[in-house]
Structure 1
Amino acid sequence: MAIDLHIHSTISDGEYTPEELVMMAKKAGLSAIAVCDHDTTEGARLAVAAGEKIGIVVIPAVEVSASLQGEVIHILGYGINLGHLELNQVLGTIVSYRYRRAESILANINQELIAAGRRAVNTQDILDLGKEKPITRADIAMYLLEKGYVKSRNEAFDLWLDKYNIPNKDFSVQEAIDVIHRAGGIAILAHPSSPSMSLNTISTKLEDHKAILQDLYRNELDGVEVYRFLQQIEDEKKYLEIVESIGLVATGGTDFHGPHYLGSAPTIGAKEIPDSVLDKVLTTIEMRRAKNPS
Structure 2
Amino acid sequence: MRSELQLMGVDLHVHSVASDGLHTPRELLSMAAGTGLSAISITDHDNVGSIAEASSLAPAHALELVPGLEMSSHIREKDAHFLAYYLDYESPRLHERLSWLREARLERTRTMLALLRSQGVELSLEELGPITEGGAIGRPHVAELLVRRGYVRTVGEAFERFLQRGACCYVEKEVLPPSEILDLILDLGGVPVLAHPGVSRIDEHIEELASAGLQGLEAFHADHTAEQIGLYRRLASELGLIVTGGSDFHGEGVRGTRVGANDVPDWVLERLKDRRDALAGQPRG
Residues 188-225 of structure 1, C-alpha deviation per residue, up to 9 Å, x if partnerless?
Answer: 1111112xxx2x2x5xxxxxx1x311000000101010
**Aligned residue among 189, 194, 215 for 1:189:** 194
Cα shift at 1:152: 2.6
Residue type at the aligned position of 1:272: D
Cα shift at 1:122: 3.1
Counterpart residue number, 1:120: 122
Cα shift at 1:132: 1.5
Counterpart residue number, 2:216: 223
Matched, 1:265 2:270: no
**Aligned residue among 270, 273, 276 for 1:282:** 273
Residue type at the aligned position of 1:252: G
Query: What root-mean-square deviation, in Å, do the aligned CA atoms of Structure 1 and Structure 2 show?
Result: 2.1
Q: Output the CA distance in 2 between the equivalents of 1:30 and 1:130.
A: 26
Cα shift at 1:278: 1.2
Matched, 1:22 2:29: yes
CA separation of 1:42/1:67 partners in 2, compared to 1, >3 Å: closer, same or farther? same
CA separation of 1:230/1:287 partners in 2, compared to 1, >3 Å: closer, same or farther? same
Q: Output the CA distance in 2 between the equivalents of 1:36 and 1:83.
A: 15
Cα shift at 1:20: 2.3
Counterpart residue number, 1:205: none
Q: Output the CA distance in 2 between the equivalents of 1:228 and 1:131.
A: 27
Counterpart residue number, 1:139: 141
Q: Output the CA distance in 2 between the equivalents of 1:128 and 1:100.
A: 18
**Aligned residue among 171, 177, 181 for 2:182:** 177
Q: Which ranges of structure 1 fall in alignment gaps of 5 or more residues?
A: 114-118, 203-208
Residue type at the aligned position of 1:283: D
Matched, 1:238 2:245: no
CA separation of 1:276/1:181 partners in 2, compared to 1, >3 Å: closer, same or farther? same
Q: TM-score if structure 2 supplies the norm length?
A: 0.88
Q: Output the CA distance in 1 between the equivalents of 2:182 and 2:252.
A: 31
Q: Output the CA distance in 1 between the equivalents of 2:153 and 2:30.
A: 32
Is the Cα contact below 8 Å between 2:47 and 2:69 reproduced in 1?
yes
Tell me, what secondary structure is at the counterpart of 1:159?
helix
Q: Output the CA distance in 2 between the equivalents of 1:257 and 1:168.
A: 18
Cα shift at 1:158: 2.9
Cα shift at 1:127: 6.6
Is the Cα contact below 8 Å between 2:101 and 2:174 reproduced in 1?
no
Is the Cα contact below 8 Å between 1:76 and 1:187 reproduced in 2?
yes
Is the Cα contact below 8 Å between 2:82 and 2:192 reproduced in 1?
yes
Q: Output the CA distance in 1 between the equivalents of 2:84 and 2:256.
A: 20
In the alignment of these two chains, the number of paired residues is 274
Tell me, what secondary structure is at the counterpart of 1:42?
coil
Percent of aligned pairs sharing the same letter: 29
Cα shift at 1:254: 1.2
Is the Cα contact below 8 Å between 2:19 and 2:132 reproduced in 1?
no
Cα shift at 1:227: 0.8
Tell me, what secondary structure is at the counterpart of 1:34?
strand
